[in-house]
Amino acid sequence: MNNERTHLRPLRLPQDTQAVADLIEICFADTMDPDGWEYLRRMRAWGALPNGSPGPSMSGFVWEEDGRIVGNLEIILPKTTSRYPLIVNVAVHPNYRRRGIARRLTEKAIHYLKSWNYPAVWLQVRADNLAALRLYERLGFQERARRTTWVTNPSTISQTNFSFSSIRPRRAHEWPLHSTWLNHIYPEQVAWNLPLDFERFRPRFLNALRNLLGELPLWHFTAFEQQEYLGFCTWEATSHYADWLWIAPNPQKTPQALCVLLPSMRQKFGRRRPLSINFPAGEFDETFLDCGFYPQQTLIWMELPL
C-alpha cells in the first residue's frame, strides 16, 4: 500500500459530509434501520447548508484514494466524565476492502484518543460481522456485553382486549426496588451508552410535571402476581422510529415478568408506533418472540483500555 500519509487524513466538516453519507449508505444499506436512514437524511441536509451552519458534533478520519473517500471512521467524544469516546461508522467501500484500510483508520483513532488521555474507547459491532469482530480483537478490544434490540410491528397487534389485572402504575415507594432491578438489566458498563436517564425515573415532583407538560413523556408500570412483584416497565415516547421500553424484571421471575409486561405494553402503547427494547442477547429469546417482538440486531459492545 502507498504511504499512509497520502491517504489518511482527519474528517473535514461540512466538506466531507455528502461523500461520507454516500459511503455509509453503500456499506450499510442492507442492515440500516429507519433511524439509520433518518441519520443519513439529516447528515445530507446539514452538508448542503452554507459553511458555518450549526451541525452535528462529529470528528474522525477518512481514507482517500483515486480522488474519493473510500474509508471512514467517526468518533463521538463524551460530554461528561462518566462516559467514554465511541468509535462509530467504520466503513470501507467494497472495492477497497481486504487491504487494511479499516485497521489503519482504527489505529489512527486509538492513537488520537490516547493523546487526549482518555482511559478507554468503546465501539459496537454487529454479532454477524465476523471480519470486523476479528479485527477489533486483534487490536486489543475486549467484549464487554452482547445486547439485542427487539422491536414490534404495530400492524400485527391483536385487537383482543388484554387483561391489565396484574399491571398498575408504579408507586413512589417502589422506586428503590425498581432501581435495583434496572441496574441488573442495564448495568453501568452499558447504561452509559444508552438513551437511558435514571434521574427521570425517580418519583419527583419535577419529573411528574415534566411528564404532564413535555412532548416526550414516560410512564412507569408495576407487574405483580399474588402480591409478589414480577417487575417494572417504563414506556418512553421518542422522536425516533420507535418508542422505548425499559424493562426491569424480578431476576428470579424474569419469564413471568416478560409474559405479563410485554403484551400489556404492546396493547397499551404499540398500536400506532413500534416499540423497541434493549436486552441481554440470548436471554429469553423465545419469550420475546412469543410476545410479538422480533430481533432487529444484536451488537457486541467492546472496550479497549488506553
pLDDT value at residue 2? 56
Q: Determine whether 229 is exposed, middle or buried from the number of CB atoms within 10 Å of its CB (0-12, 13-18, 19+).
A: middle
pLDDT value at residue 214? 73
Residue 267 has pLDDT above 60, yes or no: yes
Of 30, 21, 1, nearest to 97 by C-alpha is 1
Q: What are the CB-based long-range contacts (under 8 Å, 24+) for 40-48?
A: 43/17, 44/17, 44/18, 46/14, 46/17, 47/14, 47/17, 47/18, 47/21, 48/18
Q: What is the pTM of this model?
A: 0.89
pLDDT value at residue 1? 53
How, if at all, do strands 120-126 and 86-92 pair?
parallel
Q: By three-state DSSP, how is residue 62 classified?
A: strand
Q: By three-state DSSP, how is residue 216 classified?
A: coil
Residue 223 has pLDDT above 70, yes or no: yes
Of 276, 260, 273, 200, nearest to 228 by C-alpha is 260
Helix-helix angle 34-47:17-28, to 10 degrees: 160
Residue 52's pLDDT band (cuts 50, 70, 90): low
Nearest-angstrom CA–CA distance, 183 and 208:
22
pLDDT tens-digit series, residues 140-176: 999 999 999 999 998 776 655 445 568 999 999 999 9
pLDDT value at residue 225? 87
Mean pLDDT of 219-239: 93
Of 156, 78, 131, 77, nearest to 109 by C-alpha is 77
pLDDT tens-digit series, residues 90-146: 999 999 999 999 999 999 999 999 999 999 999 999 999 999 999 999 999 999 999
Residue 235 has pLDDT above 70, yes or no: yes
For the domain bounded by 150-297, which CATH number is listed? 3.40.630.30
Average pLDDT over the chain reads: 90
User: Which one is predicted more confidently, 35 or 51?
Assistant: 35
pLDDT value at residue 155? 79
pLDDT value at residue 276? 96
Mean pLDDT of 222-237: 93
Provide the 8-state DSSP code for 252: T
pLDDT value at residue 156? 75
4-118 to CATH, choices 1.10.260.40, 3.90.550.10, 3.40.630.30, 2.40.40.20: 3.40.630.30
Mean pLDDT of 280-284: 95
Of 139, 87, 90, 105, nearest to 7 by C-alpha is 105
Other CB atoms closer than 10 Å to residue 253's CB: what's the count? Answer: 17
Q: Which residue has the cell 458534533?
A: 57
Nearest-angstrom CA–CA distance, 17 and 11:
9
pLDDT tens-digit series, residues 73-106: 999 988 876 689 999 999 999 999 999 999 999 9
Domain with CATH 3.40.630.30 in the chain: 4-118, 150-297
How, if at all, do strands 142-151 and 68-76 pair?
unpaired
Beta bridge partners of 120: 305
Nearest-angstrom CA–CA distance, 108 and 61:
8
Mean pLDDT of 226-235: 93
pLDDT value at residue 68? 95
Angle at 305 between CA 301 and CA 306, to 5 degrees: 135
pLDDT value at residue 216? 80
The four Cα atoms 182, 137, 12, 67 give a dihedral, to 10 degrees, of -140
